[in-house]
Structures are given as structure tokens and as C-alpha cells.
Amino acid sequence: MHNLTIKQMSEKLHAGEITSVQLTQHYLDRISKYDAELNAYVTVTPELAIAMAEEADKMLASGEAGLLTGIPVAHKDIFCTDGVKTSCSSKMLDNFIAPYDAHVVTQLKKAGMPILGKTNMDEFAMGSSSESSYYGPTKNPWDHKAVPGGSSGGAAAVIAAGLAPMATGTDTGGSIRQPASFCGITGIKPTYGSVSRFGIVAYASSFDQAGPMTRSAEDSAWMLNAMAGFDERDSTSLQREAVDYAADLGQSLKGLKVGVPAEYFGEGLDADVEAVVRNAIAEVEKLGAEVVEVHLPNKDLAVPSYYVLAPAEASSNLSRFDGVRFGYRCENPKDLQDLYKRSRSEGFGAEVKRRIMVGAYALSAGYYDAYYLKAQKLRRMVRDDFTKAFESCDVIMGPVAPTPAFNIGEKTDDPTSMYLADLYTIPVNLAGLPGISVPAGFVNDRPVGLHIVGPYFSETKLLNIAHQYQQVTDWHTRMPAQYQ
């Protein structure tokens, strides 16, 4: 059953060929069999999943079911889930049981989707490899020596290994698209504000955006339909008419103008990755698209800008974790100052502390103008580059990451090298644009993704392009041999 698409699962559920309880139990059994070696789940919720599946079966029997009813889902452990531990893979929140649901969790519950559990991630979504998790690193299903990417590495791994048919992820600087590329699945980051951030533990509020992680673009379209929409509890949520993200699936690509930035194919890009990406672009060209060269001259300014702005926001957002109200508290503090210092130093991991310190420094008196203000100006320049590029093309295509998945431990002692793994994804977050990673091939038996970026609110176009590409290729259907 784990080889079926979401649409095929839905058809079988509605036809009565399988029940939601059977489908959910199938995934729970696979989790029990395989997750010990992958470490992709932080929490598994079998009793909750079966209870929700029983309710889904009642909806199916009554004729009140939707397309996604009865199909189980896994949530990244950054989405608050009522009654379930929401840890952000941090010691700081290891004892936190969320008292409410994030908006996305509520929406998928309304759709009738049983919750399998919470997936592993980089601590507080800070990382590109899922190695900074308090619970240990997640392994890439294609090669256990490799990372699955991050911060949504656990979510990507459970899809790739068939331990969930779909999962929620969040993308701050590439945290949906980069692990999707490393694990050979499809992942889309929507336009900033399209999906509510309510109930998502904040890392960098002006960057964070939730999105679906699935096997195919069609599956992502159906899932995004349930996730997206206005939420008055989120001040950055966009109030616009409801969009059917699956509406354009099947549209011809004839006349589509694909921009290929010259800056994306220079120094730093692995030659084999470049070959895979160029072959994928050539396939899209065969479908009727026209390839044109565009320029993003400020691409190299994106990473330094991001690693000033995102830590600055993180230093503010994470100040609430002080050992007083909730989360980890040190033992036997001498006084209030000792409580603050020890709770934070013991509760946070190395990468989180590094980013808090960088952010606090950038915002401090005397350095705000020199660092934070300049980084905001660079952010505008990066956004303006995209605006100009889209004057001559409909979408932009290129690599998701400079290399395939690297080995566990390979970059942990070199944070700068780790940060450069998001070289191609960060500019999209700085601009707030939508972007999707589509499986496009392999390098040394490790997956590589094609990155497609569009103007604001072009998700239906991106999903259709990805869908059309997946009609003539089979990369998205492949699974690691040991999990088939």
C-alpha cells in the first residue's frame, strides 16, 4: 500500500477496497520495523492514529469524506499538536506537551487525516542536516552514512522510506526543498503568508513557511489544498480567495519561458549535480518550454544576509525559553540569574546557542546599523533581482543544493560549509517566493533535485511543471531497495 499515490489511496478508500484503519496500521507496522535504524520519528502515536482512522472510516461510510480523508500524515516536530509532545528536537522542550493544535494540524484533522507521529529535525529548525537534533541524527534512507538534509530531514526520510505517505515541513532557508532533494521526494515552499504560521514554534518569523512533503507534485497539490488558507490568528497570513492548487495539473508547457541563471552554474556546484540538473531542464524543454538565460547578480549576498537576519529573529523568538514558564529548567538554581543562564545553556544545543549569540550581537547597540540594517538592504537587492529576472521568464530553474547528500559528521565542525548547503534555496526565502524541489536523478546513488522557482502566488504553475516533468520521468517513483 505504501507504493500507492495519495490519489490511488483515496480511490481505494472511497471504493471500500481498504479502510483507513488498515492503511494506518500498515504504516505503523512499517514504522515499528524500520524507524529504529533511521531515527526519523521523535514520537509515534499509534493509539491516536488508530482512533483518528476509525473516525475517518465513519466519515467515508457516511459519504462526508474528502479526497484526503483516511490517509495518514506525519508532522514535523515543530507543529504544536494537542496532547502530543512538541519538542522541536530540543532538550529545551523535551517535556513540552502542546495544549493546542497548530493551524495546519487543525486543517489536516478537519480533512480526516490520522496522525502517525512527529518527525525528527534539526533543533528549533536550525540546520541543514538534521544532525543538531537532541535525539540524534536521522539517516538518509538511500544511504545510512548520509544525512537526509535539514531541518525537515525526518519528514523527508519518512516519505522516502515509505513510513508515511505525506508529511508537513517548514522552510526557513530551504528546509523543505533541500531535504526533499537529498531524499528524492517532492517538497514545495509556498509563497510567504500562504500557509498560517500559527502554532509553529518560531525560528525566524519573516522567513518561516510551512509546506507539504510528498512523493509527487500531484500529491503535494492535494495536500497544499488542505494546508493553505487565511488564518486571522497569524498577522502575516494572506487574505485571498481560496486556490485549487491541483487546478492546472495537466496544462501544456508549450510557450513556457524557463530562466536559467548563469550565476547558478559556476564555482561551487558539483559537476555531476550540474549534469543532472541540466538534463532535467532539457526534459522540460522537450515538453515545449523555451530556455532563456537570466541573471541574479546578488546571489552570493543571500547567505551572509540570511545568517544575520535569521539569527537576529531567532535571538528574539527564543528569548521566551528561560526556564520560568515552560520547557527545560535547571536543577537547584541559586537565584533568578542563575536560573536563566543555566536553563538556557543546558537546554539549548550548540548550533542554537551559536545563532542566538550571532543574532544578539547583530542587534546590539553599535552594530545594528553595521550588520542588521545592511542585511535588510541586501535582502531587498536579492528580491529585486528576482523581480527583474521574471520580466523575461515565467519560472527559474537550477540546482537545489551544490552537492548530493553529504556524510553524517562531514560538516559538523565547519558551520560555514554547512551554511553553504543552502546557497540556492536561501534567496527564495529572502524574497518570500514559492519554490519546489523535484526528484531529477542520482549522483553516486544519492538523489538530486531540480529547483523550480516562480513569482508570488505561482504555486499552481510550479506544481503543474513538476507534474508534467514527472509524467515523462520516474525519479519520483523510486524507493531505496531495502524499503520497497
Span 18-27, mean pLDDT?
A: 98
CATH superfamily of 6-255+394-483: Amidase signature (AS) domain (3.90.1300.10)
Q: Does residue 145 register a pLDDT over 90?
A: yes
The reported pLDDT for the residue numbered 262 is 95
Q: Does residue 416 register a pLDDT over 90?
A: no
Please say whether the beta carbons of 186 and 439 come within 8 A.
yes
**Residue 266 pLDDT grade (very low, low, confident, very high; cuts 50, 70, 90):** confident
**Residue 42 pLDDT grade (very low, low, confident, very high; cuts 50, 70, 90):** very high
Span 312-333, mean pLDDT?
A: 95
**Residue 267 pLDDT grade (very low, low, confident, very high; cuts 50, 70, 90):** confident
Q: The whole model's pTM is what?
A: 0.97
Q: State how far the Cα of 478 lies from the Cα of 398, in Å rounded to an integer.
A: 22
Taking CA atoms, 154 is separated from 100, 123, 182, in Å, by: 23, 12, 12
The percent of residues above 70 in pLDDT, for the chain, comes to 100
The reported pLDDT for the residue numbered 182 is 98
Buried b (16+ CB within 10 A) or exposed e, 61-99: eeeebbbbbbbbbbbbbbbbbbebbbbbbbbbbbebebe
**Which pLDDT tens digit goes with each residue over 204-234?**
999 999 999 999 999 999 999 999 999 999 9
Query: What residues are annotated to the active site?
Result: 76, 151, 175
Q: Does residue 77 register a pLDDT over 90?
A: yes
- The candidate with the shortest Cα–Cα distance to 138, out of 124, 126, 162, 122, is 122
**Which pLDDT tens digit goes with each residue over 8-22?**
999 999 999 999 999
**Which pLDDT tens digit goes with each residue over 383-408?**
999 999 999 999 999 999 999 999 99
What is the enclosing helix (H) or strand (E) of 73? Answer: strand 73-76
| 266/179: higher pLDDT | 179
**Which pLDDT tens digit goes with each residue over 419-469?**
988 999 999 999 999 999 999 999 999 999 999 999 999 999 999 999 999
Buried b (16+ CB within 10 A) or exposed e, 3-15: ebbbeebbebbee
CA atoms within 13 A on the CB side of 136: 9
The reported pLDDT for the residue numbered 325 is 87
The reported pLDDT for the residue numbered 460 is 98
The reported pLDDT for the residue numbered 269 is 96
**Residue 62 pLDDT grade (very low, low, confident, very high; cuts 50, 70, 90):** very high
**Which pLDDT tens digit goes with each residue over 349-361?**
999 999 999 999 9
The reported pLDDT for the residue numbered 361 is 96
Residue with cell 509532545: 85
**Which pLDDT tens digit goes with each residue over 156-184?**
999 999 999 999 999 999 999 999 999 99
The reported pLDDT for the residue numbered 352 is 98
The reported pLDDT for the residue numbered 398 is 98
Q: State how far the Cα of 455 lies from the Cα of 396, in Å rounded to an integer.
A: 9
The reported pLDDT for the residue numbered 333 is 96
